Structure 1
């Protein structure tokens, strides 16, 4: 009987330790949307690194809705997550979700898009300002200064759209581009198509398009093809699989390639360091490159 009691006690201790370890080993990744190849690749990079380092990773899709984003973070209180990795739907609106995590003493890392308020341990992203400037410099190298340009902007209020636009504005000024129009298409392929169709009506003499992500670039491509304007140079941003294929096929001139999988992987590595008590940088840049044919 004594031996049985000892065995039961050992089993109970083992189960308790296992449950505790499981809770400590759980990370949460809240993604703005999984209806975008860029963020799917980011998720996959995070999942691969989490498996490699022995973490359980919860992935939640905010569906580009700040209210859903907040609900996702609220849900983490009962899911045992020890670090929150969040790719904001909006740099302002995400503050509510981050403050909720702050109150729960949950360390927060932001991915790709920054948060304008709330306590964040580290921001992991490409240098979007540099990327926007790279896009403009590439256009100048292909067409020359004073080129007639249309810009398709991302979701207003996101740091990515603001920073890419700021970098491109530097190139516009430096190369004396004629910016015919600059309008949001919300990082969406269908909206990129519709906005480009509308802008072409008043700007038929456009020479180049800078789209702040590949999805909008591919939408703009369809609009230009339908208008029989295959000579218009298009530059996207992100280096998604579809974007790179379009560059290789000669349909897009270039894409400013981020490494979304690397962003996800570095985020997991950073969370691992935090849980081990290591110091991490408040901003961790991920390199960019121009991909052209």
Structure 2
């Protein structure tokens, strides 16, 4: 009897485990790169949420920002592995045909951070608002001085790059396209526009080129904090770092440290961990109930400033460090 009972209990346990495995949500996370601290934190958030709710998480990343070929292959591989939800920070619109193909098979595709056409939902910072906040800060910080502006952008056609740039222009009070445009606003006050690809070394080169065009630049907008660090290096090399205000977006720990040190005057902080956690939770909900996420969910943005300025709401760098992502 004991042997029979043991066999029955073992069989029940195995059946239960098989049933659990069959019901376990499989969710894919694809980021632009695996080295940028923003995406490292995003992956951490997804892993923590997956563990919490008992989901299986598959992860992949492009080799660099703009590497859509690797992202496309990852989508296909994850769906073949059973993923019913794909979370992706898109590197470009080349992924859209593949997205549509897997959606036709019943796969939910959620955009994190970077919007693209056809995503079922978007969990992201309001990047236009992030740009507006640093534009407003820069206007107040210059205190009536004539602005001679350089913008170190991402690369042509990217929606996040356009939203941050155009938001900055609007916040500063310059002519600006709306949040739906992928084109960059221009004005006579902007004497140099250059692509940095969000990279420190390329940001430094871009700033050096801008200074050659106009050595009187006194305000620099940068797409992110690595580009801001590169811009500062170029300015310091030229002996101009004390006369130029740099503003940026991201809120990574190194960026907040740079804000504390005066390298960056102010930055708009976003929250990648929250984006990913919400995405994983939505994937589990879809697996269990069949209801897809939809629309845009704002995951928040906060202006962090080294020094506060009158008329612009901001938090100090201590708050920024408490909430930052990356190595503290």
Let me know the Cα RMSD of the aligned residues: 2.3
Distance 2:91 2:53 in 1: 27
Q: Which residue of 2 aligns with 1:203?
A: 214
Q: Does 1:148 align with 2:175?
A: no
Q: Do residues 283 (structure 1) and 284 (structure 2) align? A: no
Partner of 1:122: 121
For residues 21 and 292 of structure 2, what CA distance do their matches in structure 1 show?
A: 27
Matches within 5 A, 1:19-58: 19-21=21-23, 24-58=24-58
Distance 1:168 1:43 in 2: 28
**In structure 1, what is the equivalent of residue 98 of structure 2?**
97
Conserved? CA contact 1:30–1:69, under 8 Å:
yes
User: Unpaired runs of 5+ in structure 1?
Assistant: none
Counterpart CA distance in 1 for 2:59 and 2:284 is 17
CA distance in structure 2 between the aligned counterparts of 1:61 and 1:20, rounded to whole angstroms: 26
Which residue in 1 is equivalent to 2:317?
A: none
Choose from 256, 261, 264 the match for 2:276: 264
Q: Using the alignment, how far apart are the partners of 1:124 and 1:107 within structure 2?
A: 14
Classify 1:11/1:269 alpha carbon distance in 2 versus 1 (closer, same or farther; 3 Å): closer
Matched, 1:161 2:161: yes
Q: Distance in 1 between matches of 2:293 and 2:17?
A: 33
Deviation sequence 1:113-172 (CA, Å, 0-9, x none): 0112x3x22101111111111111111110035311111111323221111122122234
TM-score normalized by the length of structure 1 = 0.90
Structure 2 counterparts to residues 101-250 of structure 1, below 5 A:
101-116=102-117, 118=118, 120-145=119-144, 146-174=146-174, 178-231=189-242, 232-250=244-262
Does structure 1 retain, via aligned residues, the 8 Å contact 2:148–2:190? yes
1:79 deviates by 1.9
What is the CA distance between 1:273 and its match in structure 2?
2.9
Shift of the 274–238 alpha-carbon distance from structure 1 to 2, 3 Å rule, reads: same
User: Which sits farther off after the overlay, 197-206 or 100-109?
Assistant: 100-109
Q: Secondary structure in 2 aligned to 1:94?
A: helix
- Tell me how far apart the structure 2 counterparts of residues 209 and 280 of structure 1 sit (CA, whole Å): 38
SS at match of 1:123: strand
Give secondary structure in 1 for the equivalent of 2:198: coil
Name stretches of at least 5 consecutive residues in structure 2 with no aligned partner. Answer: 176-186, 307-328
SS in 2 for 1:200: helix
- Please give the alpha-carbon distance, in whole angstroms, between the structure 1 residues aligned to 2:128 and 2:227: 18
What SS does the aligned partner of 2:123 have? Answer: strand
Check conservation: 2:204, 2:233, Cα contact below 8 A.
yes
Structure 1 position 269, deviation (Å):
2.4
CA contact (8 A) 1:256 1:290 kept: yes
Distance (whole Å) between structure 2 residues aligned to residue 37 and residue 178 of structure 1: 33
Q: Distance in 1 between matches of 2:98 and 2:59?
A: 15
**CA 36–151 in structure 1, closer or farther in 2 if over 3 Å, else same:** same
- The answer to whether the 8 A contact 1:73-1:100 is kept is no
Aligned residues: 288
Give the 3-state SS of the residue equivalent to 2:77 in structure 1: helix
Could you tell me how far 1:20 is from its partner in structure 2? 0.7
Rounded to whole Å, the distance in 2 between the matches of 1:276 and 1:17 is: 13
User: TM-score, length-normalised on structure 2?
Assistant: 0.81
Q: State the distance in 2 between where 1:149 and 1:87 align.
A: 29
Q: CA deviation at 1:238?
A: 0.6
